[in-house]
Structure 1
Amino acid sequence: MFLLAGFVVLQLRTTDPGTVPDEVVESQQHLVESVARSVGASATQGVSDLSTVAVLPEAKPEQVLTQLQQSHPKWRGMALLDAATRKLVAAQGEPVPVEAVPDAVSEPTVTPVVRAAGDVRMLVVHPLANRPGWVLVASSSTGIPNTPLNGDLRQGLLLLATRTGEVIDTRGTSVKADDKPLQTLLDRAKTAAGGASGIVVGDPAPDTRQGQGVVAGREVAPVVAYAPVSTDTLSGTLGLAVLSVVHAPVGEPSSSWPGLTVAAALVFVGLLGFGLVRWAMVWPVRGLRADVLAVAGGNLKRKVRRSHASEVARIAHAVDHCRTELGGKKAKRRGPRGTWSVRIPVTLAALSLLGWSGWTTWTQGRVDVDVPQPVIANSRSQLGNTADAVRRSVNDGFVDLRAVTGLAGGKTPDALRSTVQQLAERHARYRSVYIVDKTGGLAVSAGRSPLRKAAEISGDGGVRLEDTTGRVPVLFAHAPLPDGQHRLVAEFDVDHIVTLLQRSPGQVRLVDAEMRTIVATDGFVAFQHIPDGHLRDSVTEALAGKPKATVHGAGTGRTVVASRAIEGHGVVSALRWTVVAEQPASELDLASNEVRRAALVAALIGVILALMLFAWHELVLVRPLRAAAKAADKLAEGDSRSVIFPTRQDQIGTIASCLEFCRQALVDGAGRLGAVRRPSGAATDATELIPVVPDTDEDRSPRRKAQV
């Protein structure tokens, strides 16, 4: 228990050394990693766009570039090159930096290029499968996504070219050139940003801002978080990194020791239980042992002390009964039964420790969770990146179909079979890709079996949700083929959408305008309406163009709720979908949560200790003593024929042995006392061998053997 008390003192401690809270630092780390994934996803999608058209057979060079420009307006410049001679075969849009194309192109590559004007272009190079020796090159502008920022922390995001250390894009609050401490901090982050993600924190300084919400005299510290940009499909990094710069408030140096009270209560409970067991059980048993040893040793004048413990009193009465009978007097068969059982103090000691565990859980395990404002703002920013990732994935899926149908010309579905198969294999967003006729019948299929019902599809193309009654949501994109008789359809994989939603912490849902759940990160029922309350209010505000993150509830039941409508360019915006996230405050990396978890662990250890101590006393002391008391009752009632077998080699075993000696004395006389209990002589006497007695003829006779 004293070890547990020490654990409680050390773990139930909240310390603020006068630095930026850990939860604020970690929230910035999560944010830059989320933004870096978004930038990397844009590069990955660029490779996917070119992969879609690079596998189409018999497409003319000008036709490929024209269709790519029409289906993917984001490309600023495009070119077809002869990989060996670097000669232009065809080009459209702004000039492509041919000198940035790698010498050997055997697989798709992505290279960021900073132009003379200072803006950055993402250069994607893809070899053509249908024209060996030719490569397709396209450049698009890139930058920091439209992520919500925290103005109270003067947050700014920077996109860094790690090879040169040049900042190529910024959003939010800019970094002043004369801010030497912050510039030094940025230099350290720039040096490390090319390898792995991390964070650096500067020295605190007074907040010099003026205006509403600024606390006079409060100190703030610059925090720079960084993360390299990488992709899932390309090895290594892209030579880019995302940096986040904030000025976070510094807490006052303080230290709180709530564990001292809890530990003191545990020590008190432990000492109380120890004293109770010693007084009510251990001491009476020791006194009884001394008395029965004296009687079993032949001292019939020794009185056996009485006790309020029931088992001890019953054994003492049995021994006193034997002593009286052996003294030639008539003894009473029934005597004092005691006041309590020895099990009661053991139970009370265990219950007191269980009570301490319950009290610790109630007082320390239910503390209010105070969620800092920077953590709330970070939840809103992360959810904004998630909503943008869902928008891009669905929109790009439709764009892929438009690119294929635009280059298909008059080809039949069978001629497009290989293209359909490669489209399904190269994109994780699709569960199946297929071509249907006017009646909805399958002509060509790739991937898993379609979930969409065989029915006519009308319109110029777009993204649809088939129905709102099925067990699995069927979201698909479709585009008509040039022949007017067929249509290319791609069903989106629900698991892929779930993976995108998991970029935000907590339970994240994708809901429609009628408040029905389409997909969720945890277990969900498709098209089930979200419950009334703060979730519905948050979705309503997001659809109204007022996305925000708020905290609801009280105590340990507080939750951080954030929502973001899927907006912007593309067909998915017309669906009026919203991404809403709900994260329990108890799951955040907050100091109060660490205290609560430590208190729950201590309470659990207390419960285990209580059960172990009760079980040990019950098996080692209580049950053997009760068994001896039951045998003593029979002896006191006159049953001198039932042998009392000692089963233990401890004090209770000694008491049982003495009861057996008393029983034998009642049968064979008082001479059995003392001499039976120990052999005569001294321990220093020499051991003598008894000579063998030879058998006589009479002993060998059959009659004698039968008698024996």
Structure 2
Amino acid sequence: MSASRGSRRRKARRRADMPLLGGARPPIAALLALLLAVAGATALVLGDRDRASLDAAVLTSQQHVAEDGALSLRASLDESATDLQRAAALFTGPEPVPADTVLDKLGKVYNKWRGTAVIDPVGGTLLAARGENIPLATVLKGAPDAKGDDKDGKAFGVGPRLVKLRSGETRMLVVAALRGGDRPRLLVASGTLNVPGISSGEDRTLLVVDSAGTVLASDGPSVSRKSWAEKARKTAAGDSAKTPEPGGHPGASGHLMGGGKRGEERTAVGYAAAGRAPGETSAAGALGLSVITSVEVTEDMSAVRTQAFGLAAAGILLALALVVGWVLLRTVQRPLLQLYLESRRLSRGELDRPVRQFRGREPARIGAALESLRKQRLGGRPTRTGRARGGFGTRGTVIVCAAVLLAWSAPLLFLLNRAGSTVTVPQQLVEDQRRRTDTAADRVRKALNEGWADVASVAQIVGAGGGKDGADKAVLETTLREHGRYRSVYVLDGDGKVLSRAGDSPRHPGGKKPHPDSVVQLNTSGKEPAVAAYAAVPGGKGRTVVGEYDTQFLISLVTRPGLGQVWLIDRKHRIIAADKAHGYRAFAKLPGGHLNDLAVSARRDADGTAILHRSRNSSLAAAAPLGDNGAVKGLDWQVVSAQPAAWLELPEYTAERHTMLAGLLGVTAAVACLGWLFIIVIRPLRSLADQAEALAGGDRKTVLFPQHHDEVGAVVRNLELIRQQLRPATGSAAKPAGRN
């Protein structure tokens, strides 16, 4: 009974001495688990990529087209509303400006409205009108009551609204208060709700719908009888209230797939709400408008076959994982446990049998040192054991295991399943690249022309002020504060001298006369482009108001997600602005000769052009000129875009990315776990071999301290106990490193 109790106590002490955490077991177990997970992920992600349903790249492209259209629509409507509010503010004064004078001056600056009118809201009287008739009942419905006691006119700003005419056309009415005199008046303008500036072509349909799904404007083939159109309208209207993703489209957007006339044709649909992001101020964003685009595409019924490849790769990795795990268990973990047991036996004085022989360089060296120490405990003399010559080192074992695993991962990461330049890129994506680039050029053109119109309206105020510096300064500061597109606004005399300014220092060339009414590029070199809008002051004897555009404003015009790299270039193909995601250097050349050739061909084609550039890394590229409409007609600028084909969601590139992902996961698992094993176990084991040989050779002064509480640390503690037992009785006793 007592013998069995003693045996149980010894087993319990042995289990207590063995480390539960740390050492060789956790990294080896983690390596096996991770490799099994990578094998499973490889078999899972490398499935066959079916093209029977439309490529995700085509559907995503339609969503981006709709987003561009919604953004353009919202910006156009917001600009119309803001322009009328600012124009009404120009006529603020103690005395009311005659209604006919207001409309005449408004028509000289802005020509975007189909009809304008000045209304007396108290009596419902039409004081003056230009252009088409405006439905007064709709305007007066939101006007203040007959008392007219709103002195500051805030109640008059009823905001934009949509009106359906008897002809079936839709108009957007914008109302602003004319503050001046005792009687309130309303300035009203009606504009056409046009489809956004996207080239539709014969195969593309564009719709503008309201929150109820009613089509307000359309372009392209009729789709009124297709079920998908109704579904897209409801989805766009229903999703418009959702919170947009950070950095994404300011409003709901998405895509869906509709049926086609024939089995191989389907309809790719994209929709986007012209809403506003949280915190934004947008009058048009509250109208509940959405843009829907659709295009007929032909499906490719082929598939990218990678399932067999994925299963084979996973099977090979599984076999390698088992082999590597078995090797590490036999050459690292098992010898460490046996060394621990042998050193523990010697430290307890069990010297009756020799130390077993070990394979492997470091275990063999430590085992030989332990055998020498056993003999010294029995009365022998210290002897130098020397380094074990035979066997393969543990460091070499880890390196070979890493090489085996990297031999599986490296081909996946760099060689296999490469898409190359022979990938079938749908022609629809090339057309969408051109359309989106043309939309970006239209956006730049409208923004610059609207900026010039704002400067021209300021010139009207400056002319009415009679050239008083104080009054001009106040107008310029107000303009700069209300317009984020300018870096500075100033007034020049006929000789180019600055009379008054607000904002940063003017960059108009000193001593040079002002440019005629237009948007002008002021420099062709330097760190920052200088672009300004010039508008002559009526009756100002050569005086001109100049508004210099801010560079960040130009960058924001060409920044669109999913379009790749976008550049705004001048007539010499020098970069004026580029999307902020990629950065640029002002006045640098386009990166690539094919882009220059594309810009040259686009200058001859007013609708722009696009190509699929075949090279080692294929790319979609497009160029679109700004055109010669409005104040930008003398610039001869273009918008150029380029997008690597590898960025597209095509099955070939998806398979390539998944293959690279599997290789990367394999590399990560091998490097992490084997590096962990090398740092925690292999390096301390090599150091332990040197310490054991030194102790066997007669070094009794060096105190041995364990680095970690693991198998190697346990052997070090046992060697320290043996060292203390071998020291002469006259020596100063060293404090034990730990109890075993």
- What TM-score does the superposition give when structure 2 sets the normalisation length? 0.79
The aligned runs of 1:320-359 (5 Å cut-off) are 320-323=371-374, 333-334=384-385, 336-359=388-411
The residue aligned with 1:685 is: none
Tell me how far apart the structure 1 counterparts of residues 373 and 239 of structure 2 sit (CA, whole Å): 90
Q: Once the 2 structures are TM-superposed, how far is the Cα of residue 485 of structure 1 from its aligned partner?
A: 4.0
Give distance in 1, aligned partners of 2:135 and 2:364: 102
**Residues 289-328 of structure 1: per-residue CA shift (max 9 Å, x gap):** 5555666666656344434422222222223334556677
Q: Structure 1 residues 256, 311: closer, same or farther in 2, change over 3 A?
A: closer
Residue 226 in 1 paired to residue 271 in 2? yes
| Structure 2 residue aligned with 1:508 | 566
Cα deviation digits, residues 418-464 of structure 1 (max 9, x gap): 44333333222222222122232222223343233433324542221
- 1:426 pairs, out of 477, 482, 485, with 482
The C-alpha deviation readout for 1:369-420, integer Å capped at 9, x for no partner, is 6543333322222211111111111112222333444565563232444443
Relative to structure 2, which stretch is displaced further, 502-511 or 291-300? 291-300
CA contact (8 A) 1:52 1:423 kept: no
Residues 194-253 of structure 1 show CA distances to partners (whole Å, capped at 9, x for unaligned) of 75644564564562xxxxxxxxxx523334333333475316433533221223444548
Paired position in structure 1 for 2:601: 541
Query: What is residue 215 of structure 2 aligned with on the other side?
Result: 167
Partners of 2:354 and 2:371 within 8 A in 1: yes
State the partner residue of 2:544. Answer: 487
CA distance 1:403–1:197, change in 2 (3 Å): same
Count how many residue pairs are aligned between Structure 1 and Structure 2. 655
Aligned to 2:732: none
Asked if 1 retains the 8 angstrom alpha-carbon contact of 2:551 and 2:577, the reply is: yes
The percentage of counterpart residues that share the same residue type is: 30
In structure 2, do the counterparts of structure 1 residues 192 and 293 end up closer, same or farther at CA, with 3 Å as the change threshold? closer
Are the equivalent residues in 2 in contact too, given 1:296–1:662 (CA < 8 A)? yes
2:368 corresponds to which of 317, 342, 345: 317
Using the alignment, how far apart are the partners of 2:721 and 2:75 within structure 1?
88
1:624 corresponds to which residue? 684
CA contact (8 A) 2:173 2:189 kept: yes
Contact 1:314 1:338 in 2 (8 A): no
Three-state SS of the structure 2 residue aligned to 1:75 is coil
Amino acid paired to 1:513: R
Matched, 1:133 2:184: yes
Residue 91 of structure 1 is matched in structure 2 by 129
In the alignment, the residues of structure 2 paired with residue 193 and residue 646 of structure 1 have an alpha-carbon distance, to the nearest angstrom, of: 64
Aligned partner of residue 225 in structure 1, secondary structure: strand
TM-score, length basis structure 1: 0.82
The answer to whether 1:499 aligns with 2:556 is yes
Q: CA deviation at 1:497?
A: 1.5
Distance in 1 (CA, whole Å) between partners of 2:557 and 2:430 is: 20
DSSP-derived class of the 1:109 partner: coil
Instruction: Report SS of the residue matched to 2:683.
Output: helix
* Shift, 1:159, TM fit: 2.4
Preserved contact between residue 417 and residue 444 of structure 1 (Cα < 8 Å): yes
Deviations 1:233-286 (A, max 9, x none): 316433533221223444548674354344334323322322222233334444
Amino acid of the structure 1 residue aligned with 2:510: A
- CA gap 1:437/1:641 in 2 versus in 1, 3 angstroms: closer
Distance across 1 between alignment mates of 2:73 and 2:704: 84
Q: Could you say if the C-alpha distance between residues 90 and 420 of structure 1 is closer, same or farther in structure 2, counting changes exceeding 3 Å?
A: farther
Per-residue CA deviations over 1:481-508 (Å, capped at 9, x if unaligned) read 2131421111112211211111363221
User: Is 1:67 the equivalent of 2:78?
Assistant: no
Per-residue deviation at 1:143?
A: 1.1
Of residues 377, 380, 387, the one that matches 2:441 is 387
- 1: CA distance, partners of 2:726 / 2:465: 114
What is aligned with 1:238? 287
Q: 1:391–1:527: structure 2 CA closer, same or farther, 3 Å change rule?
A: same
The answer on whether the counterparts of 1:434 and 1:489 sit within 8 Å (CA) in structure 2 is yes
Q: Distance in 2 between matches of 1:84 and 1:592?
A: 68
Counterpart residue number, 2:142: 103
Give the Cα separation in 2 of the matches to 1:652 and 1:361.
36
Q: Which moved more, 1:415-424 or 1:293-302?
A: 293-302
Is the Cα contact below 8 Å between 2:236 and 2:272 reproduced in 1? no
Does the C-alpha gap of structure 1 residues 197 and 646 become closer, same or farther in structure 2, counting only changes over 3 Å?
Answer: closer
- Corresponding letter in the other structure for 1:25: L
Q: Is the 8 A contact 2:77 2:284 kept in 1?
A: no
1:46 is matched by which residue type in structure 2? S
Separation of aligned partners in 1, 2:526 and 2:382 = 87
Match for residue 123 of structure 1? 173
Q: Which amino acid aligns with 2:292?
A: L
Contact conserved, 2:49 with 2:655, CA < 8 A, in 1? no
- 1:92–1:657 distance in 2 versus 1, CA, 3 Å: closer
Q: Which amino acid aligns with 1:133?
A: P
1:452 maps to which of 504, 508, 513: 508
Counterpart of 2:673?
Answer: 613
Structure 1: any 5+ residue segments left out of the alignment?
208-217, 670-675, 680-708
Partner of 1:695: none
- Who is 1:278 aligned against? 329
- Residue in structure 2 matched with residue 520 of structure 1 by the alignment: 578
**Whole-angstrom CA distance in 2 between matches of 1:190 and 1:54:** 35
Distance 1:55 1:356, change over 3 A: same
Secondary structure of residue in 2 paired with 1:55: helix
CA shift, 1:41, in A, is 1.9
Aligned partner letter, 2:119: L
Stretch deviating more after TM superposition (180-189 or 31-40): 180-189
Matched residue type, 1:50: L
User: Aligned partners of 2:482, 2:708: CA distance in 1, in Å?
Assistant: 74
Q: Relative to structure 1, is the Cα distance of residues 475 and 636 closer, same or farther in structure 2, using a 3 angstrom cutoff?
A: same
User: Which amino acid in structure 2 is aligned with residue 390 of structure 1?
Assistant: V
Q: In 1, are the aligned partners of 2:487 and 2:548 still within 8 Å (CA)?
A: yes
Structural RMSD (CA) = 3.5
State whether residues 63 and 407 of structure 1, in contact with CA within 8 Å, keep that contact through their aligned partners in structure 2. Answer: no
Letter in 2 for 1:498: I
Bigger mean CA deviation after superposition, 533-542 or 464-473? 464-473
Q: Do structure 1's residue 264 and structure 2's residue 282 form an aligned pair?
A: no
The alpha-carbon deviation at position 539 of structure 1 amounts to 0.8
CA–CA separation in structure 2 for the residues paired with 1:540 and 1:458: 31
